[in-house]
A and B are shown apart, each in its own frame.
Chain A
Amino acid sequence: MTLKTRTKDLVAGVACLTLFIAVAAYIWIPMLWMVLTSFKSRQDIARGQVWVPENPTFESYVNAIYRDELPKYFLNSTLVAVGVALVALAIAYPAAYAFSRYMRIRGMTTASTSVMAVWAVPPVLLILPYFLIFQISGLYDTRLGLVIAHISLTLPITVWILRGFFAGIPVDLEEAAMVDGCTRWGALLRIIAPLTLPGAASAALLAFTMSWDDLILSLALTSSEVAQTIPVRISMYFGYWGFYWPDVAAFCVLSTMPILVLYYVLQRYFIHGLTMGAVKR
């Protein structure tokens, strides 16, 4: 390698890294700013303390946990999201298998297209019928009701991701097992299921995240802390004039942390799920 190409490589490398630092700043400065704000005290704000708080306080965290009852909302969000992930997986798994193995059978293409078309339905439409139906059936303001409502949002993406994973497993594997005397169900359970575990984890995680993320359905279908989720509680801060920013910030920091920890621990599955749905077809 000549000196000239090496300098050229070096310059390009430094330029790339600098650009990446700019991108990272765009992503990270807002998050760090939220954390800084959550520690600001009334004195800091009154004195116009801009950067690092001079008299940092945990008051906002205490407020978030005790006065604003974060644990209750957190429990609601988590229970609903776990329920959604499990139910979505149970329904999508066999369907995705069918889509990946029997696409040539009559009606399969139509079924698959219409499931994917559900992706296009604006969630805001669903709040009206759900509101009316839940009022009558007693599901209004319950966690079970939210699970049902969120399922409608998450099914297409779970089917889509799982189908990608099934497509990556050779049909020969099951056929070999069936030649050796397994039934189709036996082959599915003993051979295929273990291989699709990472796919199932990815699909469940994305369903969990989508349910955790939802504001509109939860906002329309709950009215008390019995079922209200974290996003609903946060939107309530903005419903009043003169909310206190450090309190909102502390609430947001506390409720985001578990999600980010989950993401960093299981990032492989997140990234795999996203790319599987889009690239393998």
Chain B
Amino acid sequence: MRLRRITSPYLFLLPLIAVEFAVILFPLFTIVRTSFQFYFLLRPEKVGSWIGLENYWAVFVDSLNAPLTFWSLRNSIFWAFANTTFRFLLGVGVAMLLSQPVFRRLKLTGLTRVLVLTSWVTPGIIGMAIWRLMYQSTTLGFLNAALTQVGILSEPVAWLEDPSLIWLSCIIASAWKGFPFVTIVLSAALVTIPKEYYDSAAVDGASGLRRFWHITLPLVLPVAIPTYVTQLMWTFNNFVQIHTLTRGGPADRTMILPILVFRHAFEYLELGMASALGAFMLVVVLVSVYLQHKLVRYG
């Protein structure tokens, strides 16, 4: 009886641990191994032989690949921060908007949430296909058609090719899919703040801005920070959005690490180099998760 009481918690966990081991840990171990092996699939006779750090050298030092590797790393970091910050601010803004009394008074709270979350539920590739259509330069593209008709633009703009617009276009499309999640989570956090806090602050004569700074912000931060960090991670890891919008182009301008790993593996069939790059990505992500865990103490 006593033995059972001690072991049963672990028994509950056993399936999860076993499956995680099989579907995550073992594959990750395989990646680290293949990153030290020759894995160019077009030369099957040599595949699997140990070549030390050659894959890492090819990806990070060799002048054939290294510039694109570091360019993608730079893009990935820029994309993750710029995109997450934009969608986060938009998400928070909309959450604050939906918490205004007018929506409650008109009994619109439920409806607004459902409407907002629609774009989040739409599968990622379909959302990005929709935006690729919106950005077309022909009359098929809504933005160009609308803006030229209104007279804001004199001629169509290549939203997904013009170097000065391309990241902005990608961010607007990506935020469309991503911001509702932030809004829903933050709305739930805003609801938990007792109304009395605001009432007594109002009695004491605190302005709207001060109420936000001294009541809303500190109470929402424990939810907002982890949400920002997970969004940052998801954006850094996300493949489908840039892949669907630009395929990393034109001329590798929007190349990011996930797409580069995919290209090494399935276009060049260089699984060894892809693994080396992948192992590097893993280190980047795990180190940032660790740092975030150490630096930001929440909850």
List residues of A whose CB falls within 8 A of some B CB: 12-13, 16-17, 19-20, 23-24, 26-31, 33-34, 37, 40, 45, 48-51, 90-92, 94-95, 97-99, 101-102, 105, 107-108, 111, 114-115, 117-133, 148-149, 151-152, 155, 159, 184, 209, 212-213, 215-216, 220, 230-231, 234-235, 237-238, 245, 248-249, 252, 255-256, 259-260, 263-264, 267, 270-271, 274-275, 278-279, 281
Contact = CB atoms under 8 A, between A and B. Distances in A.
A112 to B, nearest CB: 9
A273 B149 CA distance: 43
A99 B117 CA distance: 29
B248 interface: no
Nearest to B241: A215
A2 B119 CA distance: 41
Contact of A126 (B27, B129, B149, B176): B27
Contacts of A220: 262, 265-266
Interface string B148-179: 01000000000000000000000000001000
A13 B106 CA distance: 10
Interface in B97-122: 97-98, 100, 102-103, 105, 112-119, 121-122
B6 to A, nearest CB: 8
A41 to B, nearest CB: 13
Contact of B189 (A33, A105, A132, A279): A279
Contacts of A115: 16, 20
B223 interface: yes
B9 A33 contact: no
B116 A128 contact: no
Contact of B139 (A45, A230, A249): A45
Interface in B228-267: 230, 233, 236-237, 239-240, 243-244, 247, 257-258, 261-262, 265-266
B34 A235 contact: no
B271 interface: yes
Main secondary structure of the interface of A (DSSP, over half): helix
B19 A91 contact: yes
A163 to B, nearest CB: 11
A49 B139 contact: yes
Q: Which of the listed residues A27, A220, A230, A259 has the most CB atoms from chain B within 10 Å of its own CB?
A: A27
A27 B281 contact: no
Contacts of A252: 126, 129-130
Given A231-B125, A278-B185, A122 B262 contact: no
Contacts of B289: 117, 120
B184 A271 contact: yes
A118 B20 contact: yes
Nearest to A111: B13
Given A37-B140, A121-B285, A128-B275, 4 more contacts: A98-B13, A128-B274, A249-B133, A270-B121
Contacts of A34: 129-130, 133
Contact of A152 (B23, B114, B121, B227): B23
Contacts of A274: 181, 184-185, 188
Interface of B: 8-13, 15-17, 19-20, 23-24, 26-28, 30-31, 34, 94, 97-98, 100, 102-103, 105, 112-119, 121-126, 129-134, 136, 139-140, 142, 145, 149, 176, 180-181, 184-185, 187-189, 192, 223, 226-227, 230, 233, 236-237, 239-240, 243-244, 247, 257-258, 261-262, 265-266, 271, 274-275, 278, 281-282, 285-286, 289, 299
Contact of A234 (B20, B126, B184, B237): B126
Contact of A238 (B131, B244, B257): B244
A270 B227 CA distance: 17
Nearest to A272: B188
A148 B102 contact: no
B140 A45 contact: yes
Contact of B278 (A118, A128, A256): A128
Nearest to A245: B140
Given A16-B97, A264-B114, A33 B142 contact: yes
Nearest to A156: B20
Contact of A151 (B23, B30, B122, B282): B23
Nearest to B149: A50
B130 A121 contact: no
A102 B100 CA distance: 40
B119 A27 contact: yes
Contacts of B180: 27
A124 B20 contact: no
A27 B172 CA distance: 11
Contacts of A48: 139
B13 A33 contact: no
Nearest to B124: A213
A70 to B, nearest CB: 13
A119 B233 contact: yes
A125 B124 contact: no
Contacts of B112: 20
A114 B13 CA distance: 13
A82 to B, nearest CB: 16
Contacts of B27: 125-126, 128-130, 133, 152
Given A16-B103, A252-B129, A128 B24 contact: no
A132 B27 CA distance: 10
